[in-house]
Structure 1
């Protein structure tokens, strides 16, 4: 795995996260409101995306829309460094191609899932802290368990002091289905779409090709990832008892069953449109930035070779 691909994948995601983190804050709040309560039986401080933005800004201030930005940047850098570098290596070594040279959707799905799982596991502590910081809100609009963290470093110290390394990686295995489904769908769609757009001469310009492919990949990813994303948000944000066990859920399957029983299918798709508005542009920007950074690197290599 090339070190440059690893770094470029991380940098691409960091650039995109500055723009999409406010949507992530809104998405997290919507996913947590009405936790384990039947639809219509609870107060909804967040009734829609636009109203949620206004509500957060009015009660938490404009900076409230960038809550959890620091751990979000770390999370995105780590997960996308692994995902995109594994994707690039698989593509360049033709591990995602059929015998006739075509890009295989199923192989892309597999390599995308592998990259997502590896990246998700190593970035798990930052995803947990990001979720807990993003859920913090003024009392009037608070939803879900409210953690008392004042910063990312403070959260790391507190979680480590109470649970050690195991505490920092709490919920990491439960987050793997989210990573596998989302990353697999995104990477497989991106690679296949790029190949098809070039094959049928629909989009010639490389940057536009990457943009269109990233947008399509992000759209499919948002549909696939929302249910496991709701589960991950709930698991990472739940409080713990004196023995360090979750107050609401024992694990991924228990969370899935409880949400279905109390909130129905609607509960599994809470925050879908916010998720879509976050993932579609984020996916487009990440994959576009990554392709552009790769192009700059290759141009630099050619310049060195010719000098």
Structure 2
């Protein structure tokens, strides 16, 4: 049940965050391995990006890959939040009084995040490639030209086998370790601190809202460089052997971005990323807490 709750929470949150995910992906691919001033700028900022996408692709353009994204986040967070909740319930992330211990929570959420990322990697690969597909006049990055999710799976599998579907998994697992540990640990520690306030102690929904907004900010700052690398690894063109044409792996990708695009290249799309992560974290963690409370009231208490 804990695993199903995590999946439902994330799937619901994805409906609100996917448009910003599309914009973030486009902005992260814009000017790939080019210095500033040496490439076309189709997306000036997140608001301009939204306008450009809708103008050229219609309102559906900002919801590209939605179906895959919902399934992806449901699977990833079914595993991630389920594992973390199990660890928390068994006292692995807390002290004897039930308060979150920083290093235990960080380790537990990192392991949970990496496991979820591995399970969902093929869907993350397909989602990224679908979201990057754009009208020719505003296209950035390699265009894979999939007609849909099923076509993408068939194409990748027939060309490169099962391992082709897990290409770029190291990048997304590293991204998940950083993102999950910063998000869940910050969320748990912030809730513990807020509960010391008598007013907030009586308002669990408000407590979860405040904690999720703050955890989303911390997560965005920590995760963005790894998110850029993960996006680039997933979207790059591959040769006949299924090897990346631009990057050989995580370290190579980090190095090339820093050399050609500078440090600011690691924070491309950061505002769009926060506008994606903030509502996603807010709704995901809020739904997660609410569903856990419902389970506690209607299932756990009845069984006891």
Q: Which range, TM-score by smaller chain?
A: over 0.9
Q: Any residues of structure 2 matched to 1:235-250 within 5 Å, and which?
A: 235-250=233-248
Give the alignment partner of residue 182 of structure 2, picking from 175, 180, 185: 185
Aligned to 1:197: 194
* Cα drift, residue 295 of structure 1: 1.1
* Cα drift, residue 175 of structure 1: 1.7
Write the distance in 2 (CA, Å) between the matches of 1:285 and 1:82.
18
C-alpha contact (below 8 Å) 2:171/2:226 kept by paired residues: no
Q: Any residues of structure 2 matched to 1:30-45 within 5 Å, and which?
A: 30-45=27-42
Change (3 A) 1:305 1:252: closer
Cα displacement string for residues 151-200 of structure 1 (whole angstroms, at most 9, x for unaligned residues): 11110111111111101111112221100000000011111111111134
Aligned to 2:57: 60
Write the distance in 1 (CA, Å) between the matches of 2:2 and 2:10.
12
Give the alignment partner of residue 148 of structure 1, picking from 141, 145, 148: 145
Residue 130 of structure 2 is aligned to residue 130 of structure 1: no
Write the distance in 2 (CA, Å) between the matches of 1:187 and 1:305.
28
Choose 54-63 or 92-101, whichever is displaced more: 92-101
Give the alignment partner of residue 119 of structure 1, picking from 104, 116, 120: 116
TM-score computed with the length of structure 2 as normaliser:
0.97
* Cα drift, residue 303 of structure 1: 6.7
SS at match of 2:35: coil
Write the distance in 1 (CA, Å) between the matches of 2:167 and 2:303.
48
CA RMSD of aligned residues (A): 1.3
Write the distance in 2 (CA, Å) between the matches of 1:43 and 1:117.
35
Aligned to 1:297: 295
C-alpha contact (below 8 Å) 2:28/2:269 kept by paired residues: yes
Write the distance in 2 (CA, Å) between the matches of 1:302 and 1:36.
53
Aligned to 1:278: 276
Aligned to 1:164: 161
Change (3 A) 1:196 1:303: closer
Write the distance in 2 (CA, Å) between the matches of 1:126 and 1:302.
33
Write the distance in 2 (CA, Å) between the matches of 1:263 and 1:305.
58
Residue 11 of structure 2 is aligned to residue 25 of structure 1: no
Aligned to 1:267: 265
Write the distance in 1 (CA, Å) between the matches of 2:110 and 2:118.
12
Write the distance in 2 (CA, Å) between the matches of 1:130 and 1:168.
12
Write the distance in 2 (CA, Å) between the matches of 1:153 and 1:303.
43
Residue 8 of structure 2 is aligned to residue 11 of structure 1: yes
Change (3 A) 1:290 1:102: closer
Aligned to 1:69: 66
Choose 223-232 or 198-207, whichever is displaced more: 198-207
Change (3 A) 1:298 1:100: closer
Aligned to 1:49: 46
Write the distance in 2 (CA, Å) between the matches of 1:250 and 1:305.
53
Give the alignment partner of residue 251 of structure 1, picking from 234, 241, 249: 249
Which stretches in structure 2 are left out of the alignment for 5+ residues? none
SS at match of 2:262: helix
Aligned to 2:216: 218
Write the distance in 1 (CA, Å) between the matches of 2:49 and 2:90.
45
Residue 107 of structure 2 is aligned to residue 104 of structure 1: no
* Cα drift, residue 99 of structure 1: 4.9
SS at match of 2:144: coil
Write the distance in 1 (CA, Å) between the matches of 2:13 and 2:96.
35
